[in-house]
């Protein structure tokens, strides 16, 4: 591959050429970039994958502390949970989730009916997707998640520095509340996606994985396990970064080192499609791409919904 570089005053242009493609890369460095980076740092928003927590209980009505009614008790239980998903339980009670997927549900192009299907929701957290599959008539739904905060895919140094309070945090309380409110039969099972195999829970017609891959240090391994338990197709959605698709037709991703919540990767769109395909699927169909984000900062991230066929 031939490479030509030109630079002046921190501004650089690189031209790459091979038998199959030509790429143009523009870079900014030196003092000019340092001043620009300092400006960005001052304006920096919260980490991409760290859900805002300041609005907890904003969407549930206030009740007197002495009120012992079932509604008041439900509100108090909701207020004790750090919600990822937003649920509407009726009677004006909504969970203050970091994300509200009901507003973008049409982007996932789910079948109106899933009658007879056995479905697995990987990394279910509060269970929005698992309950949605059940609502659409799925025969059986399993909701898979890890036990608690300490079981996330942290870098070893971050896990070693975790406090006893952090290690004690358990997941599933929000799921239990939602299951109770919906009268659901969804089964929540504790299992790391790295340990997923047919011998544990059998195989599934459909497997769903939403916004998980960027949080895993080994996303291909996780996808391979998903493929092993999937018989029809997997519905996979995740964040992608369009700037990584601007260098020819290369399949690029950026290593993030497990920072924040944790975040290991920034995927280019082409790279995201390719790692799904290479994990054991026959073809990948793009269902939709769109911008979305936290309820308090919508439209901040680029999101892709992909259907991976066995």
CA gap 262, 284 in Å, rounded: 27
The pLDDT of residue 247: 79
Residue 79 lies in a domain: no
- Asked if residue 236 and residue 129 are part of one domain, the reply reads yes
106 C-beta neighbours (distance < 10 Å), count: 9
- Asked if residue 10 and residue 127 are part of one domain, the reply reads no
CA gap 46, 260 in Å, rounded: 10
Mention every residue, 6+ apart, whose C-beta is less than 8 A from residue 52. Answer: 46, 98, 294, 295, 296, 297
- Contacts of the segment 54-57: beta carbons below 8 A, 24+ positions apart: 55/96, 55/295, 55/296, 56/82, 56/83, 56/96, 57/96
Residue from 184, 141, 190 nearest 170 by CA? 190
Residue 77 lies in a domain: no
Q: 300 by DSSP, 3-state: which?
A: coil
Entry pTM: 0.81
- Asked if residue 151 and residue 11 are part of one domain, the reply reads no
Residue 59 lies in a domain: no
- Asked if residue 169 and residue 21 are part of one domain, the reply reads no
Residue 68 lies in a domain: no
Residue 35 lies in a domain: yes
pLDDT at 218 exceeding the cut of 60: yes
- Asked if residue 129 and residue 213 are part of one domain, the reply reads yes
**Structural domain of 23:** 2-42
- Asked if residue 183 and residue 276 are part of one domain, the reply reads yes
Q: Are the C-beta atoms of 255 and 155 separated by less than 8 Å? A: no
Specify the number of domains making up the chain. 2
CATH label of the domain that carries residue 289: 3.40.50.150
pLDDT in tens, 93-133: 999 999 999 999 999 999 999 999 999 999 999 999 999 99
pLDDT in tens, 1-60: 444 556 665 566 655 554 545 555 555 555 555 555 455 444 443 333 334 443 444 345
Four-CA torsion 178, 181, 182, 186, nearest 10 degrees: 50
Residue 65 lies in a domain: no
CA gap 101, 105 in Å, rounded: 6
């Amino acid at each position: 591959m031939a490479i030509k570089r030109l630079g002046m005053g921190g501004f650089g242009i690189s031209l790459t050429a091979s038998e199959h493609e030509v790429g143009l890369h523009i870079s900014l460095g030196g003092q000019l970039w340092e001043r620009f980076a300092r400006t960005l740092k001052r304006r920096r928003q919260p980490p991409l994958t760290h859900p805002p927590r300041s609005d907890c209980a904003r969407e549930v009505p206030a009740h007197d502390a002495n009120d012992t009614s079932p509604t008041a008790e439900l509100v108090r239980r909701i207020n004790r949970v750090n919600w990822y998903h937003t649920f509407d339980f009726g009677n004006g009670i909504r969970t203050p989730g970091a994300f509200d997927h009901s507003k973008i549900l049409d982007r996932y192009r789910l079948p109106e009916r899933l009658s007879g299907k056995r479905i697995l929701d990987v990394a279910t957290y509060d269970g929005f997707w698992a309950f949605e599959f059940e609502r659409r008539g799925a025969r059986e739904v399993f909701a898979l998640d890890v036990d608690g905060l300490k079981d996330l895919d942290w870098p070893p140094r971050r896990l070693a520095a975790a406090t006893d309070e952090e290690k004690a945090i358990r997941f599933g309380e929000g799921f239990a509340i939602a299951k109770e409110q919906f009268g659901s039969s969804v089964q929540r099972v504790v299992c790391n996606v790295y340990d997923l195999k047919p011998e544990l829970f059998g195989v599934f017609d459909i497997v769903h994985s939403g916004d998980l891959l960027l949080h895993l240090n080994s996303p291909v391994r996780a996808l391979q396990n998903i493929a092993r338990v999937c018989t029809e197709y997997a519905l996979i959605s995740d964040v992608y970064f369009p700037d990584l698709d601007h260098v020819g037709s290369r399949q690029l991703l950026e290593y993030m080192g497990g920072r924040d919540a944790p975040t290991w990767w920034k995927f280019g769109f082409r790279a995201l499609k390719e790692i799904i395909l290479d994990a054991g699927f026959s073809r990948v169909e793009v269902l939709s791409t769109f911008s979305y984000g936290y309820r308090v900062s919508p439209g901040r991230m680029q999101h892709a919904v992909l259907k991976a066929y066995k």
